[in-house]
Structure 1
Amino acid sequence: MNTLTLPWYARLRRDVPQILQLAIPILLGQLAIITFGVMDTAMTARYSTDDLAALGMAASIFISIYVGLTGILSALNPIGGQLFGAKKYQAIGEETRQTLWLSLILAGVGMFVLNHPDLFIAIGEVSPEIAEKAKFYLMILSFSTPANMIMRTYIALHNAISMPKMITTLQVIGLMLKIPLNYLFIFGGLGIPAMGGPGCAIATSIVQWFWVITLTLIIWNGSSYKQFHIFTTFSKPNLRRIWEILKLGAPIGFSYLIEVTSFAFMALFIARFGTSVLAGHQIIANMGTVIYMVPLSLSIATMTVVAQHLGAKDDVRSEEVGWSAVIFNVFVSVVIGAMVWIFQDTLLSFYAPREEARLIAKQLIFFIALYQVCDAMQVTAAFILRGYKVAFWPMVIYAGSLWGIGLLGGYLMAFNKLPHVPEILQGAKGFWAGNSISLGIAAFFLLMLFKITARKKLH
């Protein structure tokens, strides 16, 4: 029977459980990771507003670099997923080894940029004290960059072979380590002086290296990994294979970079409105990042399932899984947006910000509740396309919408550079409004591209 004739609700009942089986452990792991940022923000907010502003700036720069580089390595997920669906297990091991070589090259790039952040910091026009704290934070994190890159390769591998629970377990253990380490290095103790915001970076670096060392030993000795021959076979860098990874990974990484820098440059420009405005924006940005983990986790799981069905030559099922994921993700995001709006005061109280920062955050929380649906649609469509190994045109769509409309349009509204900009869209609110509009435009074009790609695959 041609399963395309199944009604949408029947496909949902069939496809959503398969997606959730992967998405739930991915989500738990993502929430553990994002809690790193929540803890950093909440603890630093209690230390000082200046440290919170420096953290916001440094975190924006770091995330831009980290996401751009690790996005390249995430190409292993759809590559490995299709090979897993085709039962080509030893080929997965070879692709993993080549991706690990690539991760070391990218680590060198990341370390250099993190140790030379002056150009990015200059955009924010912050005080010398805040700038120095931000530089110190980034310098510390640079030493964990090799661990970051290797860990991202391991995460992509585990998602591709439907084993995300191993990653989740380690991420939760890492969170349990991170919290006491944060207290120790931010506020001081056991003979260690209080370091404020930069103390978060030391705690993160320790956890990152713990993850990589532990997971390497597990993969080396674990029986579940023997069929892939990841470390039992040695491979020199293969430029042809690395180039194939880069052809898919570079547009993915650049898409990540566009998406994240649209937020990062928002923070840098918003810094011009003052420390309190930047601190309020940092709280809302952090909250939005936490919420984003839900559609992101569902999308990562969808990409894996789509890639595996494509590898098994089941093109019809791949398309159906994609549309089921879009419908389900939109429904979940509507519920989340409503909950954010209803419980906004409770959510803001968690961060315990100074009153001036709280007032700014209160003005911006509307946008988080508003753009959930558009955000869910665009991220689901983008990851489905990655499952099809389509990454170039989504990158172009992101550049035009998030940079051209979101960031540029937000700048023009925020700084009142357009005629008759209403006061409600000036200041930080202008950036958030521009970003919300750009996500809706990206969602429309990405969904159209998915429809075209799936039809071409079928015919």
Structure 2
Amino acid sequence: MSELSIISRHAFTVLAGQLAVMAFGVTDTIVAGRHAQESLAALSIGSAVFISVYVALMGVLQALLPVWAEQRGAGAQGAIGASVRQSLYLWAVACVLGMAVLLSPGPILQWTEVPPQLRAEVRAYLAILAFGLPPALLFRIYSTLNQALGHPQLVTWLQVGSLALKVPLSIWFTFGGAGLAPQGAAGCAWATLAVNYGLLLVGWKMLRGHPMYAPLALWHPMERPDGAQLGRFMRLGLPAGLSILVEVTSFTLMALFIARQGALASAAHQIASNLAAVLYMVPLSLAIATSARVSYWRGAGDEQRAGATALKGFWLSALMGCALAATLSIARQPIASLYSTNAEVVALATSLLLWVAAYHVADALQTLCIFVLRSYRITLAPLLVYGVLLWGVGLYGGYRLAYHGLAGWGPLHSPAPFWAASAAALGVTALVFSALLLGVLSLQRHHSAQRD
């Protein structure tokens, strides 16, 4: 089987699972939107905070994929089990930090000037999700391990199956019924909490019983923390996690800054951001599949095949990004209508989706690049680029344009300036990352030629 076929099959399997997870968010957005405009606005703000925390912490654990894929390529299965046990120490620290933020969101809500009438519902939403964070992060370790082993289907089956539980629970908890009072946006959080623990339980049973995991010796007694190995994890995972934090907060903080424009703007932005997140699952899946194969070949000592695999993934991601952006541009109005029955919300969301399409093209390229760069242990440079461009140009530029004016334009009290500035910043980021990746691959080819 060709590398392109392996990447495509791996990515498609990951994508099916990721879309099932994203369907959680789509479900919550539609359910909250049909419950009340205020519920949708509270969901937009609460999910922005939760995603910022969760994805940053998840990024530290997801960054271990190249480590385990390289160990697989080198045939060191026993080392994978020991490495997974050490990753649980990172998980414990991540849970403490994440829950502390989610249980005390007051400073964040005050700093971003979230309207006072929405804060109580947002706090209730985040307090529930705080207790769903530990199982969610444990399941992320399970997912990353399976992706590194080249068996993402064992994750996808669980994610798709869990959707059958999430949808009815979100509807029931949000609208109430059968003796349960309506919970509003908090109902969506209760449904997520139940699903997270269900996924963890089934994943644990898989690790205990599936013969595929037996050679990894996962269930040996926990070793004491290995400072050297944890240091290697942190040198890879911490910059990766911070990079994801910058990337995601440049995206999610828009929701908090837009909240001061009122429920209409927040609701329309929630639709746009939800679609952007759904589209992101395609390049994310390709990036996971490509980086797993690149790391596998690097672990096997074949740098030439690793570089060729990286290029195939790059061009495939670029092609898919352009195709999805074009589809969204053409069908943006009927897509927005699926989310809300409010004509004003649909009209504003439709206008934002043109910017989402441009944002996605750049997102597809930079996502593939940054994942593959991690396979080559390059994490600090992307972090610096993210900080300057996504925070400095995208988020700050959108804020200035929306509320104070910039270079003779504005102030424009609309979500559109945030999306326009973010799309421009992400476009430059994609160009920088593409040049960096191509430079790394060229250097690796030169070194391989010298060794030969």
Query: Could you tell me how far apart the structure 2 residues matched to 1:419 and 1:395 are?
Result: 27
Tell me if 1:45 matches 2:33.
yes
* Kept after mapping to 1: 8 A contact 2:59/2:241: yes
Question: Taking structure 2 as the reference length, what is the TM-score of the superposition?
Answer: 0.96
Q: Indicate which of 380, 389, 394 corresponds to 1:392.
A: 380
Q: CA deviation at 1:69?
A: 0.7
* Kept after mapping to 2: 8 A contact 1:283/1:361: yes
* Aligned residue in 2 for 1:445: 432
Q: CA deviation at 1:123?
A: 3.2
Deviates more, 1:448-457 or 1:138-147: 448-457
Question: What letter corresponds to residue 457 of structure 1 in structure 2?
Answer: Q
SS in 2 for 1:163: coil
Tell me if 1:95 matches 2:77.
no
Please show how residues 360-439 of structure 1 align to structure 2 within 5 Å: 360-421=348-409, 427-439=414-426
Q: CA deviation at 1:319?
A: 1.2
Query: Could you tell me how far apart the structure 2 residues matched to 1:251 and 1:381 are?
Result: 15
Tell me if 1:115 matches 2:103.
yes
Question: What letter corresponds to residue 193 of structure 2 in structure 1?
Answer: S
* Aligned residue in 1 for 2:262: 274
Q: CA deviation at 1:422?
A: 6.0
Question: What letter corresponds to residue 232 of structure 1 in structure 2?
Answer: H
Query: Could you tell me how far apart the structure 2 residues matched to 1:26 and 1:192 are?
Result: 36
Q: CA deviation at 1:14?
A: 4.0
Please show how residues 315-334 of structure 1 align to structure 2 within 5 Å: 315-334=303-322
Please show how residues 16-415 of structure 1 align to structure 2 within 5 Å: 16-415=4-403
* Kept after mapping to 1: 8 A contact 2:288/2:371: yes
Aligned pairs, number: 446
* Aligned residue in 1 for 2:450: none
Per-residue CA shift, 1:125-180, capped at 9, x if unaligned? Answer: 23333100000000001111111121111111111001100100010111111011
* Kept after mapping to 1: 8 A contact 2:114/2:260: yes
* Kept after mapping to 2: 8 A contact 1:76/1:96: no
CA RMSD of aligned residues (A): 1.5
* Aligned residue in 2 for 1:10: none
Query: Could you tell me how far apart the structure 1 residues matched to 2:22 and 2:201 are?
Result: 21
Q: CA deviation at 1:427?
A: 2.5
* Kept after mapping to 1: 8 A contact 2:261/2:413: no
SS in 2 for 1:417: coil
Q: CA deviation at 1:314?
A: 0.9
Query: Could you tell me how far apart the structure 1 residues matched to 2:100 and 2:16 are?
Result: 32
SS in 1 for 2:150: coil
Q: CA deviation at 1:452?
A: 2.5
Query: Could you tell me how far apart the structure 2 residues matched to 1:228 and 1:381 are?
Result: 30
Per-residue CA shift, 1:425-454, capped at 9, x if unaligned? Answer: 663111101100111111111112212222
Q: CA deviation at 1:330?
A: 1.0
* Aligned residue in 2 for 1:5: none
Structure 1: segments with no counterpart, 5+ residues: 1-12
Query: Could you tell me how far apart the structure 1 residues matched to 2:341 and 2:88 are?
Result: 41
* Kept after mapping to 1: 8 A contact 2:115/2:259: no
Query: Could you tell me how far apart the structure 1 residues matched to 2:168 and 2:223 are?
Result: 40
Question: What letter corresponds to residue 333 of structure 2 in structure 1?
Answer: D
Structure 2 CA distance for partners of 1:188 and 1:426, relative to 1, 3 Å: closer
Query: Could you tell me how far apart the structure 2 residues matched to 1:454 and 1:42 are?
Result: 44
* Aligned residue in 1 for 2:442: 455
Per-residue CA shift, 1:69-117, capped at 9, x if unaligned? Answer: 1111112211001111111111111111111221022111111110010
* Aligned residue in 2 for 1:6: none
Per-residue CA shift, 1:189-232, capped at 9, x if unaligned? Answer: 22111101000111101110111111112101210001101113
SS in 1 for 2:338: helix
Q: CA deviation at 1:398?
A: 1.0
Query: Could you tell me how far apart the structure 1 residues matched to 2:340 and 2:190 are?
Result: 23
Query: Could you tell me how far apart the structure 2 residues matched to 1:274 and 1:202 are?
Result: 26
* Kept after mapping to 1: 8 A contact 2:313/2:368: yes
Question: What letter corresponds to residue 451 of structure 1 in structure 2?
Answer: L
* Kept after mapping to 1: 8 A contact 2:402/2:410: no
Question: What letter corresponds to residue 145 of structure 1 in structure 2?
Answer: L
* Kept after mapping to 1: 8 A contact 2:403/2:410: no
Query: Could you tell me how far apart the structure 2 residues matched to 1:394 and 1:370 are?
Result: 21
Query: Could you tell me how far apart the structure 1 residues matched to 2:65 and 2:183 are?
Result: 38
SS in 2 for 1:308: helix
Q: CA deviation at 1:265?
A: 1.3
Query: Could you tell me how far apart the structure 1 residues matched to 2:440 and 2:333 are?
Result: 43
Query: Could you tell me how far apart the structure 2 residues matched to 1:22 and 1:419 are?
Result: 46
Identical pairs, percent: 35
